[in-house]
Chain A
């Protein structure tokens, strides 16, 4: 059974579990009131509302724009790091140590630091997203680069392939799946992190909209914006990353 079949099939036990959750949710919502926990149906209606009013688009676009800048920058820097790790052993050691340190730094550290450095501006969430996704994307890429089969490179030497020929025929195809896997995880992380960073200092974006809804006591809208986030995440996974990785591994 291929990944596609599994993704396309509605799994019966999952549907049953979902039904149980929805019933329980509705019950709790009735018990404690919509202000604490809005019912599932009212959240769906809320989503329809912000789509109809168009309110969803500027906020989603603002968040995605910041992710594109921060995450895109992280991917670009990762590529440079991966290339360095491939070319030199020393560079690989340095890159791995730097990534280990970045990997163990909390999101909140970067949010606070970026507020200090960039103030209440777009750059705070962009920088935070960049710093958090960089180690994730770069370390999978470095791992991919180091796992290039040396025996294939030796074959390339025997047949006197040039450096660029070996790079395009051997190195890139063997590391691309790692890059895509790293980008998939990194993008998910970027979405989660940038939304948190948007609570501070900016006046657009999903995180801002969520926090604003909380402040005006519109609990229902907090859940609606959370749903928007989940939908964006699922859509990019299914429509962007999964087709790309399927295409990259079609020779398997």
Chain B
């Protein structure tokens, strides 16, 4: 299968180098989780892949075409942020139909697509609610529905459940896994929780401490026992954190 997403030698400096050089490829339909110690640039990497921020070096290819941090670029990327970023003055339905406008669909098509993806995200019956009237978990569901509705080439998720309580978090993890299985979208998912990554990702990419590189890439297809995998990853993160602190002193 063709490579869907290719990250080639991406690096980013904010005064000091944050991301040294990161390269990896993602197949169509893969569910990749990006892991790493705090401050290693996971979110920055995701923003570069989404064309929200320019890289200091390297390139990102989506279906063979370069992604640029440029308003005119015809990228087709859905992003779910840490916060829901819904417009509070629009109903959940209108929040979804809004992002369908630039796609050139007519009103009926926009309505139909919004209804479809809101249902897929488990929001049937809540379409006319304002974001402020539903729970945080439901707002994040609506943000996922919005990202899916543009039928993106790749879906980027930046710690989307960070603000949810443990119970909602577990429910949403299962929901995302189900939605991924139903839509077969390519997903790049940033998380700091190893348990979360092991529970939902098909591929896990562990970044090193700052300036970050790829420390390890692991297939999570049930070949390795889950508890053992989590222990190994935890040990890796601890090593990286120690290295980062050693650098600082």
Do chains A and B interact in one complex?
yes
Q: Which residues of A contact B (CB under 8 A)?
A: 151-152, 154-155, 157-162, 165, 169-170, 173-174, 251-252
Nearest-Cβ distance from residue A97 to partner chain B, whole angstroms: 31
23 inter-chain pairs at a CB distance below 8 angstroms, sorted by A residue, are: A151-B81, A151-B83, A151-B85, A152-B85, A152-B87, A155-B79, A155-B81, A157-B52, A157-B71, A158-B50, A158-B52, A159-B150, A161-B98, A161-B101, A165-B98, A165-B101, A169-B87, A169-B98, A170-B87, A173-B87, A173-B89, A174-B89, A252-B88
Contact B102 A159 (CB under 8 A): yes
Bound: A159/B79 CA distance, A: 8
* Chain B, 66-120, CB within 8 A of any chain A CB: 71, 75, 77, 79, 81, 83, 85, 87-90, 98-99, 101-102
Most buried by A among B50, B85, B132: B85
Nearest-Cβ distance from residue A87 to partner chain B, whole angstroms: 15
Bound: A82/B85 CA distance, A: 24
Contact check: which of B71, B83, B132 meets A251 at CB < 8 Å?
B132
Residues from chain A with a CB closer than 8 A to the CB of B71 are: 157, 160
Nearest-Cβ distance from residue A247 to partner chain B, whole angstroms: 11
Task: List the B residue with the shortest CB-CB distance to A251.
Answer: B130
Contact A169 B90 (CB under 8 A): yes
Q: Is the interface of B mostly helix, strand, loop or mixed?
A: loop
Going nearest first, the 7 A-B pairs with the smallest beta carbon separation are: A159-B99, A251-B130, A155-B85, A173-B89, A160-B102, A158-B79, A251-B89
Contact A161 B52 (CB under 8 A): no
Bound: A165/B98 CA distance, A: 9
For the complex with contacts A151-B85, A154-B52, 9 further pairs of A-B residues with Cβ separation under 8 Å are A151-B81, A151-B83, A152-B87, A157-B71, A165-B101, A169-B90, A169-B98, A174-B89, A252-B132
Residues from chain B with a CB closer than 8 A to the CB of A161 are: 98-99, 101-102
Most buried by B among A159, A162, A173, A251: A159
Most buried by A among B98, B101, B102, B146: B98
* Chain B, 15-38, CB within 8 A of any chain A CB: none
Residues from chain A with a CB closer than 8 A to the CB of B130 are: 251
Q: Which residues of B contact A (CB under 8 A)?
A: 50, 52, 71, 75, 77, 79, 81, 83, 85, 87-90, 98-99, 101-102, 130, 132, 146, 150
Task: List the B residue with the shortest CB-CB distance to A249.
Answer: B89
Residues from chain A with a CB closer than 8 A to the CB of B90 are: 169, 251
Nearest-Cβ distance from residue A248 to partner chain B, whole angstroms: 8
Nearest-Cβ distance from residue B73 to partner chain A, whole angstroms: 9
Task: List the B residue with the shortest CB-CB distance to A162.
Answer: B102
Residues from chain A with a CB closer than 8 A to the CB of B50 are: 158
Most buried by B among A158, A165, A170, A173: A158
Residues from chain B with a CB closer than 8 A to the CB of A159 are: 98-99, 102, 146, 150
Task: List the A residue with the shortest CB-CB distance to B133.
Answer: A251
Nearest-Cβ distance from residue B125 to partner chain A, whole angstroms: 18
Bound: A160/B147 CA distance, A: 12
Bound: A211/B142 CA distance, A: 62
